[in-house]
């Protein structure tokens, strides 16, 4: 297949083939993931894997999810059944590790969630690490997960058409099948898809971890598992999967470059037309201001002004901020990680505090200890202007989206980003860097986009604290001095359709065409 420059072109070439190939209507798709809402979540991966299978199932396909039975799974408040399916994986030498399958389902669906129960690996307080850093046995844990998932597939009575792997934790799966097809007769001609939710997290380990794959060293080559002498799970998945997707068209382009490819741009480029970007959607059963039970006051496009003010007041009283309807509340929710642009945000908050600007900051996040400390000290310095909640708090994330006027997300890179989509849905105008999914989903406000009624937010015109402050200034200027335009902006943002319907159809189209092409090439 020749190299196709724009990821968007891929579908067109598939579509032509699809019409000629019958039997794609109902597909069996297994999603492999380490996170899915409501069972386990550290970021957007969980939102996607908790929703996409349900949406694809609603389009008439059989879907199942396989994930580890982390401790958080038992706390999700969802019924979990035991099964009589168990297996033992020869992890290294004579070390046999047993596991068993538990079964649950995604809420509001019939999509089964198969949970790989292995307490020694997965019954831990966090998913990937603790305050000391990543768990030192992550290579072993997730090599086990990949192999156990393949063992599980052989037992769950599903004739799998597509194995949809997500992020590095599942990256070994396509390569294990390719390396030892005889071990996996149920899936050795199955189409594999690898979705990259964040290129920066690759699961890279010293070569000594390779034996956890259960393969001979002959397989440790640069075509698959090996990356400059190390074992790299994500690279393995990208290189071995039939198709690779990422979570926005813009990011699909960006990861072909050294700036965003994180060293894997060459592997990405080698996929040619087998790479595409599909934007994430939002789960409207969870993120809809008109029905969101986590909000003190629900609202929709008809009463957004009153609704947002009521939610703002509630946040102000709860967090000891000055209670004022007029002061603009700037919300932030996200990981306290370099990626999210805290090096831009912190100086701007500091500036607003020092100059006693009429703004309020409502921040929720956890992660990097230094950023946590900086936020805590700003909140201490200006308790009526800055509130920071350090930790993971789902209900508060909803309330911040509802009560804020602006949402700041100046990420250095952003594969898709969900918070800006939630912000749009909740009438909270996003101020974002023009990168990845942020560029694909937020239309910058300019005289032209106001005139042609497409504007939905603000882009930074320079990726610096100054650029962020300027973008905030443009937003506040519109809010206070062009009220009619501001109101239109909010209504347009709320009306934009970011539901999963569109994206799920794009995935189905990919599955259908990919399996058709796969079948064709097998027949040859």
The Cβ of residue 327 has, within 10 Å, a number of other Cβ atoms equal to: 18
The Cβ of residue 344 has, within 10 Å, a number of other Cβ atoms equal to: 22
125 or 355: CB nearest ligand ADP: 125
| Residue 89 Rama label (left phi>0; alpha psi -120 to 50; beta) | beta
| Residue 338 Rama label (left phi>0; alpha psi -120 to 50; beta) | alpha
* Among the listed residues 249, 334, 436, 457, the single contact to ligand ADP using CB under 6 A: 334
47 or 117: CB nearest ligand ADP: 47
Q: Are 417 and 441 in contact (CB under 8 A)?
A: yes
Least distance from C-beta 364 to ligand ADP, angstroms? 5
Q: Are 306 and 300 in contact (CB under 8 A)?
A: no
Report if residue 294 touches ligand ADP, rule: CB under 6 A.
no
* Among the listed residues 72, 170, 419, 441, the single contact to ligand ADP using CB under 6 A: 419
Least distance from C-beta 437 to ligand ADP, angstroms? 8
Q: How far apart are CA 33 and CA 278, in angstroms?
A: 17
Write the interaction track for ligand ADP spanning residues 132-171; mark x where CB under 6 A is met and - where it is not: ----------------------------------------
334 or 427: CB nearest ligand ADP: 334
The Cβ of residue 135 has, within 10 Å, a number of other Cβ atoms equal to: 16
Residue ranges of the alpha helices (H) in 446-499? Answer: 447-451, 465-481, 483-495
Residues 11-70 that bind ligand ADP (CB under 6 A): 43-44, 47
Least distance from C-beta 331 to ligand ADP, angstroms? 11
Query: Which one of the spans 6-14, 294-302, 333-341, 458-466 is the region binding ligand ADP (CB under 6 A)?
Result: 333-341
Per-residue H/E/C for 508-519: HHHHHHHHHHHH
Least distance from C-beta 46 to ligand ADP, angstroms? 7
Least distance from C-beta 387 to ligand ADP, angstroms? 14
Q: Are 377 and 386 in contact (CB under 8 A)?
A: no
Q: What pairs with residue 430 in β-bridges?
A: 407
Report if residue 254 touches ligand ADP, rule: CB under 6 A.
no
Report if residue 376 touches ligand ADP, rule: CB under 6 A.
no
Report if residue 418 touches ligand ADP, rule: CB under 6 A.
yes
Nearest to 240 by CA among 224, 229, 251, 255: 224
* Among the listed residues 99, 365, 427, 436, the single contact to ligand ADP using CB under 6 A: 365
Can you tell me which residue has the tokens 């538990």? 102
Query: Which one of the spans 161-169, 235-243, 391-399, 481-489 is the region binding ligand ADP (CB under 6 A)?
Result: 391-399
Alpha carbon distances (Å) from 175 to 144, 194, 218: 14, 11, 13
Least distance from C-beta 463 to ligand ADP, angstroms? 17
Report if residue 71 touches ligand ADP, rule: CB under 6 A.
no
Q: How far apart are CA 334 and CA 25, in angstroms?
A: 38
* Among the listed residues 417, 427, 457, 465, the single contact to ligand ADP using CB under 6 A: 417
Least distance from C-beta 142 to ligand ADP, angstroms? 18
Q: Are 72 and 62 in contact (CB under 8 A)?
A: no
Q: How far apart are CA 460 and CA 442, in angstroms?
A: 11
368 or 509: CB nearest ligand ADP: 368
User: Radius of gyration of the chain from Cα atoms?
Assistant: 23
Side-chain-facing half-sphere of 506: CA atoms under 13 Å: 22
Using DSSP, state whether 318 is helix, strand or coil.
Answer: helix
The Cβ of residue 1 has, within 10 Å, a number of other Cβ atoms equal to: 10
CB under 8 Å to 28, separation ≥6 — which residues? 61, 62, 63, 158, 159, 160, 161, 162
Report if residue 494 touches ligand ADP, rule: CB under 6 A.
no
Least distance from C-beta 166 to ligand ADP, angstroms? 12
Provide the token pair at 438: 């942020």
Report if residue 393 touches ligand ADP, rule: CB under 6 A.
yes
Report if residue 394 touches ligand ADP, rule: CB under 6 A.
yes
Report if residue 397 touches ligand ADP, rule: CB under 6 A.
yes
- Residue 508: phi and psi, rounded to 5, are -60, -40
Least distance from C-beta 418 to ligand ADP, angstroms? 4
211 or 341: CB nearest ligand ADP: 341
* Among the listed residues 364, 378, 402, 432, the single contact to ligand ADP using CB under 6 A: 364
The Cβ of residue 84 has, within 10 Å, a number of other Cβ atoms equal to: 7
Least distance from C-beta 333 to ligand ADP, angstroms? 5
231 or 397: CB nearest ligand ADP: 397
Least distance from C-beta 105 to ligand ADP, angstroms? 21
Least distance from C-beta 249 to ligand ADP, angstroms? 16
Query: Which one of the spans 117-125, 294-302, 322-330, 410-418 is the region binding ligand ADP (CB under 6 A)?
Result: 410-418
* Among the listed residues 32, 101, 115, 333, the single contact to ligand ADP using CB under 6 A: 333
State the residues that interact with ligand ADP by CB under 6 A.
43-44, 47, 333-335, 364-366, 392-394, 397, 416-419
């Amino acid at each position: 297949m020749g190299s196709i420059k724009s990821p968007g072109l891929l579908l067109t070439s598939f579509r032509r083939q699809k019409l000629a190939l019958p039997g794609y209507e109902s597909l069996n798709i297994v999603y492999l993931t380490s996170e899915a809402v409501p069972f386990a979540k550290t970021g957007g991966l969980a939102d996607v894997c908790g929703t996409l299978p349900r949406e694809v199932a609603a389009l008439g396909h059989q879907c199942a999810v396989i994930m580890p039975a982390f401790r958080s799974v038992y706390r999700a408040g969802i019924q979990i059944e035991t099964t009589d399916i168990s297996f033992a994986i020869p992890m290294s030498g004579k070390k046999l590790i047993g596991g068993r399958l538990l079964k649950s389902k995604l809420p509001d669906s019939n999509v089964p969630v198969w949970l790989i129960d292995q307490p020694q690996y997965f019954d831990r307080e966090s998913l990937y690490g603790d305050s000391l850093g990543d768990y030192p046995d992550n290579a072993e844990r997730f090599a086990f997960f990949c192999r156990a998932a393949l063992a599980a597939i052989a037992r769950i009575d599903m004739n799998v058409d597509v194995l949809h792997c997500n992020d590095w934790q599942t990256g070994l799966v396509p390569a294990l099948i390719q390396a030892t097809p005889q071990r996996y007769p149920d899936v050795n001609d199955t189409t594999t898809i690898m979705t990259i939710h964040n290129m920066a997290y690759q699961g890279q380990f010293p070569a000594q971890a390779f034996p956890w794959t259960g393969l001979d060293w002959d397989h440790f080559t640069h075509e698959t598992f090996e990356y400059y002498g190390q074992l790299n799970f994500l690279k393995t998945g990208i290189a071995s999967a039939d198709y690779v997707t990422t979570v926005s068209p813009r990011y699909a382009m960006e990861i072909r470059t050294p700036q965003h490819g994180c060293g894997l741009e060459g592997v990405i480029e080698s996929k040619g037309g087998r790479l595409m970007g599909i934007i994430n959607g939002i789960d409207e059963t969870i993120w809809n201001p008109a029905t969101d039970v986590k909000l003190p006051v629900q609202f929709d496009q008809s009463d957004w002004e009153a609704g947002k003010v009521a939610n703002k007041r509630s946040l102000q009283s709860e967090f000891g901020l000055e209670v004022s309807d007029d002061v603009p509340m700037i919300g932030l929710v996200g990981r306290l990680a370099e990626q999210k642009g805290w090096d831009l945000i912190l100086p701007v908050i500091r500036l607003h505090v020092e100059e006693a600007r009429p703004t309020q900051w409502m921040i929720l996040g956890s992660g990097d200890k230094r950023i946590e400390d900086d936020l805590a000290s700003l909140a201490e310095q200006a308790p009526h202007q800055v509130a920071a909640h350090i930790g993971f708090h789902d209900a508060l994330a909803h309330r911040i989206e509802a009560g804020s006027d602006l949402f700041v997300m100046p990420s250095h890179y952003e594969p898709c980003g969900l918070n800006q989509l939630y912000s749009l849905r909740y009438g909270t105008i996003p101020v974002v860097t023009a990168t990845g999914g942020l560029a694909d989903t937020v239309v910058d406000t300019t005289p032209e986009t106001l005139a042609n009624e497409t504007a939905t937010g603000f882009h930074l015109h320079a990726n610096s604290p100054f650029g962020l402050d300027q973008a905030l200034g443009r937003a506040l200027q519109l809010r206070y001095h062009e009220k009619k335009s501001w109101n239109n902006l909010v209504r347009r943002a709320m009306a934009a359709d970011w539901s999963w319907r569109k994206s799920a159809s794009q995935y189905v189209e990919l599955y259908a065409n990919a399996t058709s092409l796969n079948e064709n090439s097998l027949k040859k």
